[in-house]
Amino acid sequence: MSTFVVIGGDAAGMSAASKAKREDPDLDVVVFERGRWVSYGACGLPYYVKGEIQSLDDLVSVTPEQFREDRDIDLRTGHEVVDVDPDDRTVTARADGSEVVQEYDHLLVSTGSAPVIPPIDGIDRTGVFTLGSMSDGTDLREYVGRARNDGDLQQPDRGPACQFLETCSGPVGIVGGGYIGIEMAEALAANGFEVHLFQRGDRILTQFSAATSEAVLDHLHEQDVAVYLDAEVQELPGGERVEAVETSDGRVPVEMVLVGTGVRPRTELAEAAGIELGETGAIATDRFRETNVSDVYAAGDCAEAEHVVTGAATYVPLALTANRHGRAVGQTVAGDPTEGGGVAGTAAVKAFDMEAARTGLLGEQAERAGFDPMTETIDAKSRAGYYPEGGTVRVTLTVDRPSGRVVGGSLVSEYGEGAVHRSHAVVGAVTEGVTVDDLSNYDLAYAPPFNTMWDPVLTAAKVIEGNR
Amino acid sequence: MSTFVVIGGDAAGMSAASKAKREDPDLDVVVFERGRWVSYGACGLPYYVKGEIQSLDDLVSVTPEQFREDRDIDLRTGHEVVDVDPDDRTVTARADGSEVVQEYDHLLVSTGSAPVIPPIDGIDRTGVFTLGSMSDGTDLREYVGRARNDGDLQQPDRGPACQFLETCSGPVGIVGGGYIGIEMAEALAANGFEVHLFQRGDRILTQFSAATSEAVLDHLHEQDVAVYLDAEVQELPGGERVEAVETSDGRVPVEMVLVGTGVRPRTELAEAAGIELGETGAIATDRFRETNVSDVYAAGDCAEAEHVVTGAATYVPLALTANRHGRAVGQTVAGDPTEGGGVAGTAAVKAFDMEAARTGLLGEQAERAGFDPMTETIDAKSRAGYYPEGGTVRVTLTVDRPSGRVVGGSLVSEYGEGAVHRSHAVVGAVTEGVTVDDLSNYDLAYAPPFNTMWDPVLTAAKVIEGNR
């Protein structure tokens, strides 16, 4: 009998465990998770903090009990793996002060990512949060709940956020204008907080097109979020508790700070075991997610993946990839070698009443990858001009000028007007290496309640082909 | 100087005229349109009848004056072309009783389509409508307006619908369960009419998957539309005015009937000129939309087009294709030979509070085209399970079993939950010949407000690949 050991019980790990056991019921599948939560939807945390989701349990798609009883997976929560020995094919896990040694035939490292903690003076003060784990979500919800004095919200213990205040009331600071920063701006503003968002560069959502960033920035202003661009945070001053955000432009008093400056892969365990990292700093793998160490796989937020446009290793830690690659590893381990596909760097975000998506290589990213890119943006109506309601869809496409190949796209619209779902067309084009001329000829669905006769994606393709 | 003559001033014709003139300003461009409207959005007529669009003028994207003055196109409305002579390279048009003969170097036949009038006894009675033209729209709106006694609606003349009634009040009958029938059911029900819809076959929306049809049918029932399946209409009894719909199952009293049983290509003029039709009965063309007669093109609802899956000639008369192929002909005539792409048979419809889209070859259509198809349907959540609101997206995919190629798809959801825009992914896959395994690995945009981690399209692909 063969044993498959998984380190880390979130998207990649539990997908791998479930798939492997389903495909090969004779396989022993052991998962070590150091926390108590597994298979949780971290992407939902901002909406939990916002108050739209009532319980952390709602974020869990499958419970530990279900994994154990229904799927026959030996899931050991509260077990932190402290050593991997590829020569002996063992891992050592620590739980409640004692250690267990587990042999494996196949091993998946799915240790995930951790929030980047920038080296800012005062970042350790009370009232400074990140949003990477379920307990971060609990802390933030508690902060919001106390601040609102809302008895309906869970207030299990007197948490760190408000322990020096009778009530919290804002203003609050957010460091970082990426997904987390913007989703948390929505969550906090919806709870009545005055939100100040600090972004180091000259625009927010830097992974999206500049035109998308601009549209979302305008909307944040409409929503009374104070956005500070080119604002390098120098210090988070205060006593024990944070009291302000200080940049070169001055000091903004705040009662709480959320730091959302990206994530880094958790690779310490892998490195110690001699598993190689790639240039991105994440674990390097082949297309089957196998590392340089035979029978040791890595998938999810701790690992690289190949980009569908360039084929090059890239680090895009997002949930779908983790899930998909975990599943592929499970299938491989069960005897059916499966690649699971590359990544296009696709991402979506809701920002108050707007939505945006991006995919592929945009502008300078395409240039750095060796293309001769041209990037153009169009604004088009989201429904037929005569049809009631509707809004604007802004589409940016980046195309390789000589070949006409579509290499990237970025879309933004009012929430519900379809920027995100329409981006599906661009993901396909980017993945298949379609030219912008061919994309402009796609027979996309049309009816007045959904688009103009030419969907905004087609209009963008037509315009850029005309200018190429 | 070269002359480009266009017969018919709707989507294909005006797109061709505009593109040709823009690309080659020296070209003389003459358009003959027998009516007074050009470039109108016939797809918007149901919403005009419904009352969501206030004026027919709102459906017109570019007015005749703009074509003449801004685009320098010699647009002659009220001119019906009665003869095409390819040997002399002339067309003869009739206007106000006199005839003009116009020479051409290039000719586009874009004569559009006409509603199919089934040979039903009584179909000529007053109160029986079709919805193919702007004047049909006027008649129907007038009927609705009189029936509602709504002074805000236009009631220019005492029209045919209500001339024997003090007020119309329904019930009303709809013959045909395709797009027009369903859109008109919405339009009439929204105005308080009791709607009876008669469908010859055993399901509505026969071009969609059976699973889509079923979802829409359930919704029509919820909306109190009486739907009669397997209901061959035998007669529309009455006096001068229609009074009932009679099928083999009995007689349903109605005060008005809308016939929406499809369209046929208008080919009489082309046939008389020796232009060949294809097996579908529409005008045959090559990929540049050129007919068997040199320098004579055909595009839009009167012409065939090649299917992106099979390459075979097909007849799918829809607005986007007309527009795209017209534009391509304009470009070709201006000296830049342009194909304009095939058709995937993509279509979208809003049905009350639901939306649906279909593309490619589904089920038996795929079998008839020589594939060995398998068709499966999944229901998935439209947003993350824990995210507020949201609904169900039902996705049907048809896949060629041996190769795994995706050849068709059909999606349905609540209106606003993205069935139509998500279908963009399937259109791309169908067009590019992507396998269902590759589609399941697409890096589609994900965030909780837009989908589950696996978008419903990916889930469908994953499930069908697993069962293949």
Torsion B327-B328-B333-B334 (CA) sign = positive
Q: Pick B386's closest partner by Cβ from A53, A324, A359.
A: A53
Chain A interface mutation, best of B180, B318, B443, highest count of A Cβ atoms under 10 Å? B443
A243 and A294 share one domain = no
Q: Which residue of B has its CA nearest to A456?
A: B421
Residue B118 lies in a domain: no
With CB atoms and an 8 Å threshold, state whether B432 touches A427.
no
At A17 the pLDDT is 98
A32 and A106 share one domain = yes
Q: Pick A58's closest partner by Cβ from B58, B345, B386.
A: B386
Residue B277 lies in a domain: yes
With CB atoms and an 8 Å threshold, state whether B355 touches A443.
no
B57 and B139 share one domain = no
SS3 for A455? coil
Q: Pick B387's closest partner by Cβ from A47, A179, A318.
A: A47
Closest CA to B317 of B340, B291, B275, B346: B346
Q: Which residue of B has its CA nearest to A426?
A: B425
| pLDDT single digits (tens) A352-381 | 999 999 999 999 999 999 999 999 999 999
B284 and B299 share one domain = yes
With CB atoms and an 8 Å threshold, state whether A323 touches B432.
no
Section A78-85 average pLDDT: 98
Question: Which of the listed residues B305, B333, B361 is the one where a domain comes to its end?
Answer: B333
A311 and A376 share one domain = no
Strand A263-265 relative to strand A113-115: parallel, antiparallel, unpaired? antiparallel
CA angle B29, B33, B37 (to 5 degrees): 115
| Chain B residues with CB-CB distance to A453 below 8 A | 11, 41, 43, 319-320, 323
Closest CA to B178 of B303, B296, B351: B351
SS3 for A98? strand
A254 and A282 share one domain = no
Q: How many domains does chain A have?
A: 3
Q: How many CB pairs under 8 A join A and B?
A: 217
The series of mean pLDDT values per 10 residues for chain B, 468 residues long, is 95 97 98 93 92 92 95 97 98 96 98 96 96 93 74 38 48 96 96 95 98 98 97 96 94 96 97 98 98 98 98 96 97 97 98 98 97 98 95 98 98 98 98 98 98 97 95
For the record, the structure tokens of B52 come out as 């969501």
CB of A301 closer than 8 Å to CB of A113:
yes
φ, ψ of residue A254 to 5 degrees: the values are -140, 160
| Chain B residues with CB-CB distance to A324 below 8 A | 441, 454
At A169 the pLDDT is 62
φ, ψ of residue A207 to 5 degrees: the values are -80, -15
Task: Tally Cβ neighbours within 10 Å of residue B26.
Answer: 8
Residue A339 lies in a domain: no
Chain B interface mutation, best of A179, A361, A444, A468, highest count of B Cβ atoms under 10 Å? A444
At A61 the pLDDT is 87
Q: Which residue of A has its CA nearest to B431?
A: A442
| Chain B residues with CB-CB distance to A384 below 8 A | 41, 43-44
Residue A322 lies in a domain: yes
Closest CA to A172 of A153, A205, A198: A198
SS3 for A238? strand
Chain B interface mutation, best of A442, A457, A467, highest count of B Cβ atoms under 10 Å? A442
Task: Tally Cβ neighbours within 10 Å of residue B366.
Answer: 23
Q: Which residue of A has its CA nearest to B179?
A: A447
A170 and A54 share one domain = no
CA gyration radius, chain A: 23
CA distance B176 to A303: 55
B175 contact partners, CB below 8 Å, separation of at least 6:
B118, B120, B181, B198, B233, B245, B257, B258, B259, B260, B261
| Chain B residues with CB-CB distance to A420 below 8 A | 445, 447, 450
Q: Is residue A215 pLDDT above 50, yes or no? A: yes
B152 and B252 share one domain = yes
DSSP 8-state secondary structure symbol assigned to residue B153: S
In angstroms, the first-to-last Cα distance of chain B is 60
Residue B193: domain span: 128-259
The helix (run of H) or strand (run of E) holding residue B196 is: strand B195-198
CB of A417 closer than 8 Å to CB of A390:
yes
At B40 the pLDDT is 84
CB of B352 closer than 8 Å to CB of B345:
no
Q: Which residue of A has its CA nearest to B23?
A: A466
φ, ψ of residue B138 to 5 degrees: the values are -60, -45
The helix (run of H) or strand (run of E) holding residue B350 is: strand B347-351
Question: Which of the listed residues B274, B302, B333 is the one where a domain comes to its end?
Answer: B333
Beta-bridged to residue B377, according to DSSP, are: B396
DSSP secondary structure, A68-84, as one string: HHTS--EEEET-EEEEE
Q: Pick B58's closest partner by Cβ from A342, A386, A422.
A: A386
Look at the block and give the residue holding tokens 């007074």. Answer: B36
| Chain A residues with CB-CB distance to B449 below 8 A | 350, 355, 415
Residue A431 lies in a domain: yes
| pLDDT single digits (tens) A65-76 | 999 999 999 999
The helix (run of H) or strand (run of E) holding residue A351 is: strand A347-351
Residue A345 lies in a domain: no
Beta-bridged to residue B271, according to DSSP, are: none
Residue B293 lies in a domain: yes
Name the least confident of A55-64, A80-89, A251-260, B269-278: A55-64
SS3 for B424? helix
Section A434-445 average pLDDT: 98
CA distance B456 to A341: 18
For the record, the structure tokens of A450 come out as 């959904």
CA angle B117, B123, B124 (to 5 degrees): 105
Look at the block and give the residue holding tokens 């279900």. Answer: A66
Chain A interface mutation, best of B406, B444, B458, B462, highest count of A Cβ atoms under 10 Å? B444
At A147 the pLDDT is 66
CA distances in angstroms from A35 to A228, B194, B376, listed in the order given: 36, 59, 39
Distance from CA of A364 to the nearest CA of B (A): 21
For the record, the structure tokens of B315 come out as 């007849």
Residue A117 lies in a domain: no
- Residue B85, domain CATH: 3.50.50.60
CA distances in angstroms from A353 to A44, A104, B340, listed in the order given: 17, 49, 37
CA distance B196 to B181: 10
Name the H helices within A277-413.
319-333, 364-368
Exposed (0-12), middle (13-18) or buried (19+): which is A304, by Cβ within 10 Å?
buried
DSSP secondary structure, A148-176, as one string: HT-TTS---S--STTTT-SS----EEEE-
| Mean pLDDT over each residue of chain A, to the nearest integer | 94
For the record, the structure tokens of A238 come out as 């205060």
At B149 the pLDDT is 55
A321 and A396 share one domain = no
CA distance B111 to B79: 13
For the record, the structure tokens of A230 come out as 């080119």
With CB atoms and an 8 Å threshold, state whether A41 touches B448.
yes
Q: Pick B429's closest partner by Cβ from A319, A428, A449.
A: A428
| Alpha-carbon dihedral B208, B211, B216, B219, rounded to 10 degrees | 180
Torsion B146-B150-B151-B152 (CA) sign = negative
Q: Is A162 a catalytic residue?
A: no
Amino acid at residue number B286: D
B270 and B188 share one domain = no
Q: Which residue of B has its CA nearest to A345?
A: B443
Distance from CA of A133 to the nearest CA of B (A): 17
pLDDT band at residue A151 under the 50/70/90 scheme: very low
A20 and A41 share one domain = yes
B160 and B92 share one domain = no
With CB atoms and an 8 Å threshold, state whether B447 touches A347.
yes
Q: Is residue A165 pLDDT above 70, yes or no? A: no
Strand B98-103 relative to strand B90-95: parallel, antiparallel, unpaired? antiparallel
